[in-house]
Amino acid sequence: MTRPLVVKVTCGAEDPERCNQAFTVAASAVAAGATVSLWLTGEAAWYGVPGKAEEFSLELATPLAALRDAVLAGGTLTVCTQCAARRGITEEDLLPGARIAGAALFAEEVLGDGVQALVY
């Protein structure tokens, strides 16, 4: 049995390898059957908005939009409340299935029994 996984990505296109790694790990864990929660903070918050992940490019990497869609299909995708507010992103701007939530829910998720948390 796999442990639940919470992945927090704190960067966007300014650090493409680290950003893509976070999405890759989250999508791979979904494929492995884990319960996955991917949190988008900082510039990564934009990847909860339609069309933004499609603009991301990293040579030899799985497209970010495909990784994001895998997480949406089998896990949860959350945009940080404060990060969304600073960027003018609202619930109505998000992809279907994505949500906006804050630190209290993040803390609740990472403090759950057997949870593995990773921050990129």
Looking up residue 16, the CATH number of its domain turns out to be 3.40.1260.10
Q: How many domains is the chain built from? A: 1
Q: Which domain holds residue 34?
A: 5-119
What pLDDT does residue 17 have? 98
Specify the pLDDT at position 1. 64
- pTM for the full model? 0.96
Under-50 pLDDT residues of the chain: none
**Cβ proximity of 7 and 41 under 8 Å:** no
Contacts of residue 40, Cβ cutoff 8 Å, sequence gap at least 6: 9, 46, 47, 48, 77, 78, 79, 80, 83
DSSP 14-66: TSHHHHHHHHHHHHHHHHTT--EEEEE-GGGGGGGSTTHHHH---TTS--HHH
Check residue 2 and give its pLDDT: 82
pLDDT at 5: 98
pLDDT digits (tens, 9 = 90+) for 76-104: 999 999 999 999 999 999 999 999 999 99
